[in-house]
Structure 1
Amino acid sequence: MRRDVRRQPARGPQPRLLPAVAGHRLDHGQQGGARGRHGAHGARGRPAPDRPCGRLRRPAGRRGRAHGRRRAGQGGVAALRGFEGRAPRLFERSDGLERLIRRRRQRRTYPEAAHPREARVPIVALATRVGAAALVAGASAAEATQMILRLGIALEVPLHVDVTYTSIMVSAPDIGGSAPVTMVRTVPALARDYARLGHLVGIVDRVCAAELEPAEASRQLKERELSGMEYRRWVRFGAAFAQGASICALLGGVALDMLVAGLATVLIAMVTVGQQVRRGSYFFTQVAAGAIPTALAVMLMYLRRFGVDELWTLSPALVVASGMVSMLAGMGVVAAAQDALDGYFITAGARVVELLMRTGGLILGVAGVLWLAVRIGAPAYLAPEAVTPPHPVVQIVAAGAFTVALGVVSGLGPRGAVIVGAFGALGWAAYLLALTPVGGEYPIAAGLAAAVVGLLAHLMARKLGPPAVAIITVGIAPLMPGMFLYRALFRLVVGTPAVHPRDTAEELFMLAALTGIGLALGSSVGAAVGRRLAQPTERVARLATQIALGRGRLRE
């Protein structure tokens, strides 16, 4: 056996001493030799303790160097074992760093098997009926989705929703091994009925508050669908007359102009109701709606030509423009823009196509009658005249009266009609205030006024009662570019030279289009800001709103 040299005292003559150097480190052989011959200080590469001579011993020979190499290997193994001991702590630190950097993703969970399949069927049926009724009444796709998801969260049933312009699909996935429940409901032709939309919101609130069972809620919704509009027909026709007369007064018409414009709007309402009863095409309804006020104006001009002197104060351009504004007010500009901003592009695209078709039908009706009037020699009587706008107070009152009448036609109750009338007057006042700072640019001023209406509508809708989409749609109706559109059609059909460079048909069409875009964007941006500021106080409603808006963005 090899002897352990560490325990043996040094024998023989002492080697020559080397001068000591502070901080001197030895290589592996020297470390081993020093440790083997002189103890632990040599192995650590440290200088020996200070001696009177201040010198270190010389490293040992070949035998000491070999032993030093073995000790160095043992030291490396010990260091590796020490690293293995510290490695879990290092990995724990890296996991903590990863948790610090990365965002924790929490999955939304629902209680498993909260309802068996038989109990989930009425819940899915109610959610599908609610979504379809909301779209028909005039709600946007995000609002319909929010109502459906709110019912699912409140009743503890996870729902997958797919909302398009013509159908709604609601599915409750399999939970705990049970079969899924999926229902599809087609959406009929959209007809604005904001009173029904408000009633629908009330039913959803009661179901989420556990005050109403799903089966009873479905029964009440079915009864509401069969009951029809809230007002009698003569009330709606009276509101249509007030609608035409007030918008004519807003544009600067006199009493005779207001009377004729009101009669033209009543005729348009009659034709529209008849077409709805017969389920006719909305395109031809718009063609008839555009042709009626224009044909009435042509007939009155010919009566004036044959000696009826009382008609000399009549302005046919105001009559036609009033009818066009009344029909443009019924289009879903706000809902189309809101669906596009919320990310429901299929529904937004369908609404835009319908908007273009309705506007095209209206233009076709007006242009067709104007073409006939040109052929029979009546263009001078139908030329758009320069009308002095009335006093700003008169304009604000007329805008409020127009929106009240439009609210009644749209199905709002008396209180709701008065509320939207106040918003209509507020929107027109905002337009008048913004007109001077923007240099008289009508599209910009109209867009700013629409943004004000959209913002305040969402901030105050839950306190006032009417749905926000009803307040916005009706509140911005007086700002529709009816006069610009009529002047553009007249320039295009008649071909008279423009007095001003911006009075050509192309410029007027562009101005009308920019006004429509400004109204859509302004109202949608204001509504988006107001919706973010006025989050529902109820947790379920707030969660459903966030999921509905997030789903819209994820579809992109």
Structure 2
Amino acid sequence: MVEPELPATQLIPLPNRLALTLDFCLRLGEILLSSGAGAADVTVTMLSVARALGAADAEADITFTLLTMSHQTSPDEAPLIARRQVAQRVTDYQDLTNVDHLVRGVVAGRIGLREGRAELNRITSTGHDRHRWAVTAGWGVMSAGIAILLGGGPVVVVVAALAALLIDRLQLRIARRRLPTFYAQVAGGGTAALVAVAARVLDERFDLGLDVSFVITANIVVLLAGVGFMGAIQDALTGFYITAGARITEAVLSTCGIIAGVSGGLSVASAFGVDLPTVEPGATGIQGIGMAAVGGAIGAAAFAFSSYSPNRVLAPIAVVAAIAVTISATVEEPGLGRTWAVGVAAFFVGLVGYAVAKRLRVPPLIVVVSCVVPMLPGIAIYRGLSLLGEGSRRDTSLGLVAIIGAASVALAIAAGVILGEYLAQPLGREVRRVEDRLVGPRLVGPSSLLGRRAGRAIDRRTRRRTEGARDEPAPGPTRRTPPQR
């Protein structure tokens, strides 16, 4: 419910103001954490907003499902504690961008507590600019782009896009029934495999020249796109091991859901006598680096579009993704291995993602996650599943090796991006004590750290607000206070 507008000069009791401030910070943190931001970024953002609004003694504690903030002015006073559950996790980059702009306005002093709460209510209660069917079409375009990246022909591209459309509508229905994500991933993987089985049957009858393994692989990448590998590795690198362990567990469960769904579809194919080929290493190179770059650009831009990213970032994301795919293919060609190749490409994405995001006024998380989507290890997962389905001891061993290789590729992508962000973002030497133990790459939230002089200025403003318990109006034209009746 939207908070009613009151005169900016009206007195607010101090306990009520602290409670409203903590609630405001918790709601901001919930949106950031559910959108894939790292725990360090969320903690720094919440504490920065609390400090800017007069709660300089606030403390924050974050787990994967619970946000907690407390405030204690002196040891002889009882602390004020507020908590908020993280109910759902959705990839919504429109809300993430709007919240990022709101946070920067509050930290800079342009937005007060009352205006900030009203703006946050507007962000969370307003729908998206894009229709849901446009988002479904975006997932289809993304799968088509990944099929081009893998080297599929026109028929493969069309079938992969059709399968992605079916997967998205099916997962949407499952989400509305509030089933766990694991079952949605199982349904998505099974749908991809069954569409491939049907396409294989048609190919045997009409000789369409269809390689259905690329269809399954493209849709595996689509299903992996929403898995939070990036946030898990960032949490582990910045010292939030409990949250990192929970995110890794969620990522493993989501990936296992895909594996279960695809293996179930392959079992159905085997039961009906349909032979689905195994993808061999190096099969992605038949299109050449040029077409692979085009497919990667289409896939990355379509993922950003489907995640409600602002339109102004789609073209830059496509360009950065195309360069990253080219770097990956170029490094892998001499025989350095897939893991090192994608690690170097992901490092490039992290290095330039900060500058691109700063130029376009969006969180760097949007740029880096979208650009690494084409490099997700879908082909390794499908190859491992196919070998595991053969049943022989040798094929089972090779399948396990392929699955482990896919995990190493995912780790290399996340670690490369985080390392690039570490080197790209300038870190000030004089920082607030809040950030002394949370120094790391800022994928979300204020990227410029406040020095001691700025911290003292905020402390002086905090004392004035505390003594008068007033909500300072935002700079700009003032409104006349209506007469009291």
Instruction: Quote how far apart the aligned CAs of 1:165 are.
Output: 0.7
Conservation of the 8 A alpha-carbon contact between 1:416 and 1:465: no
Residue in structure 1 matched with residue 449 of structure 2 by the alignment = none
1:187 equivalenced with 2:86 (yes/no)? yes
Q: Secondary structure of 1:331's match?
A: coil
State how 1:246-257 maps to structure 2 within 5 Å.
Answer: 246-257=145-156
Matched, 1:396 2:285: no
| Residue identity (%) | 27
Deviation at 1:179, TM superposition (A): 4.7
Q: CA RMSD in A?
A: 2.6
In structure 2, C-alpha distance between the alignment counterparts of 1:404 and 1:137, rounded to whole Å = 18
Aligned to 2:114: 215
Alignment equivalent of 1:339, drawn from 227, 235, 240: 235
CA distance in 2 between partners of 1:460 and 1:225 (Å): 26
Supply the distance in 1 between the matched residues of 2:361 and 2:72 (Cα, whole angstroms).
35
Q: Which has the larger radius of gyration?
A: 1
C-alpha distance in structure 2 between counterparts of 1:548 and 1:419, whole Å: 33
- Structure with more relative contact order (C-alpha pairs < 8 Å, separation 6 or more): 2
Runs (4+) of structure 1 moved beyond 4 Å?
A: 175-179, 385-388
Which position in structure 2 is the counterpart of 1:518?
412
The verdict on how the C-alpha distance between 1:535 and 1:139 changes in structure 2, with shifts beyond 3 A counting, is farther
SS at match of 2:60: strand
Asked whether 1:451 is paired with 2:347, we answer: yes
- Give 1:294-305 correspondences, 5 Å limit: 294-305=193-204
Does the CA contact (< 8 Å) of 2:387 and 2:396 recur in 1?
A: no
Question: Which deviations, in whole Å up to 9, do the C-alpha atoms of 1:283-341 show, x marking residues without a partner?
Answer: 01000110111101111222333x323x3x11110000000011112111111000000
Find the aligned partners of 2:440 and 2:420 in 1 and give their Cα distance: 21
Question: 1:83-162 counterparts in 2 under 5 A?
Answer: 116-158=14-56, 159-162=58-61
Q: Are the aligned partners of 1:457 and 1:468 in contact in 2 as well (CA < 8 Å)?
A: yes
Given that 1:146 and 1:548 are in contact with CA atoms closer than 8 Å, whether structure 2 keeps it comes out as no
How far apart are residue 115 of structure 1 and its match?
8.5
The equivalent of 1:434 in structure 2 is 331
For residue 279 of structure 2, what is the aligned residue in structure 1? 384
Q: Which runs of 5+ in 2 are unaligned?
A: 1-11, 442-485
TM-score (norm 1): 0.72
Counterpart selection for 1:166 from 48, 60, 65: 65
Partner Cα distance (1:334, 1:387) in 2: 24
Matching residue's letter, 1:426:
I
C-alpha separation in 2, matches of 1:418 and 1:549 = 33
Helix, strand or coil at the partner of 1:139: coil
Judge conservation of contact 1:428–1:449 (CA < 8 Å) in 2: yes
Q: What's the TM-score once normalised by structure 2's chain length? A: 0.82
Encode CA deviations 1:440-470: one digit per residue, 9 max, x unaligned: 4001110111111112223442222221122
| Pair 1:323-2:222 in alignment | no
1:125 corresponds to which letter in structure 2? D
- The separation in 1 between residues aligned to 2:415 and 2:253, in whole angstroms, is 20
> How far apart are 1:279 and its partner, in Å?
1.3
Which shifted more, 486-495 or 226-235?
226-235
Question: How much does 1:251 deviate?
Answer: 0.3
On the 8 A contact 1:502/1:508 being kept in 2, the answer is: no
Distance in 2 (CA, whole Å) between partners of 1:441 and 1:551 is 29
Q: Secondary structure at the match of 1:212?
A: coil
Residue 489 (1) aligns with residue 378 (2): no
Contact 1:261 1:323 in 2 (8 A): yes
SS in 2 for 1:170: strand
- Candidates 109, 123, 129, aligned match of 1:230: 129
Distance, in Å, in 2 between the alignment partners of 1:544 and 1:470 is 28
SS in 2 for 1:453: helix
- The one of 159, 172, 182 equivalent to 1:283 is 182
Amino acid of the structure 2 residue aligned with 1:549:
L
1:255 deviation in Å? 0.5
Evaluate the alpha carbon distance shift between residue 185 and residue 357 of structure 1 in structure 2; reply closer, same or farther with a 3 A threshold.
Answer: same
User: What do residues 191-237 of structure 1 show as CA deviations (whole Å, max 9, x unaligned)?
Assistant: 11122111111111112222222122112212221224431112101
CA deviations over 1:132-166 (Å, ceiling 9, x no partner): 11111221111111111111222232210001110
Compute the displacement of 1:398 (Å): 1.4
| Cα deviation, residue 175, structure 1 | 4.3
Distance 2:302 2:115 in 1: 34
Unmatched 5+ stretches in structure 1: 1-113
Q: State the match for 1:87 in structure 2.
A: none
1:119/1:175 CA distance change after superposition, 3 Å: farther
Indicate which of 347, 353, 359 corresponds to 2:249.
353
1:460–1:535 CA distance, 2 compared to 1 (3 A): farther
Is 2:406 the partner of 1:509?
no
Residue 344 (structure 1) shift = 0.7
Q: Deviation per CA, 1:19-46: give whole Å up to 9, x if none.
A: xxxxxxxxxxxxxxxxxxxxxxxxxxxx
What is the CA-CA distance between 1:545 and the residue it aligns to?
Answer: 7.3
Alpha-carbon distance between aligned partners in 1 of 2:287 and 2:274, rounded to the nearest angstrom: 28
Match of 1:511, SS state, is helix
Q: Which residue of 2 aligns with 1:408?
A: 305
CA, structure 1 residues 396+276, in 2 after alignment: closer, same or farther (shift >3 Å)?
Answer: same
Aligned mates of 1:457, 1:551 — CA distance in 2: 15
Kept in 2: contact 1:117–1:180 (CA 8 A) = no
> Relative to structure 1, is the Cα distance of residues 516 and 493 closer, same or farther in structure 2, using a 3 angstrom cutoff?
same
Contact 1:116 1:178 in 2 (8 A): no
- Residue deviations 1:345-368 (CA, integer Å, cap 9, x gap): 111011000000000000000011
Distance 1:149 1:396 in 2: 41
Distance 1:122 1:247, change over 3 A: same
* Match of residue 479 from structure 1: 375
Establish whether residue 418 from structure 1 lines up as the match of residue 315 from structure 2: yes
Contact 2:233/2:244, CA 8 A, preserved across alignment: yes
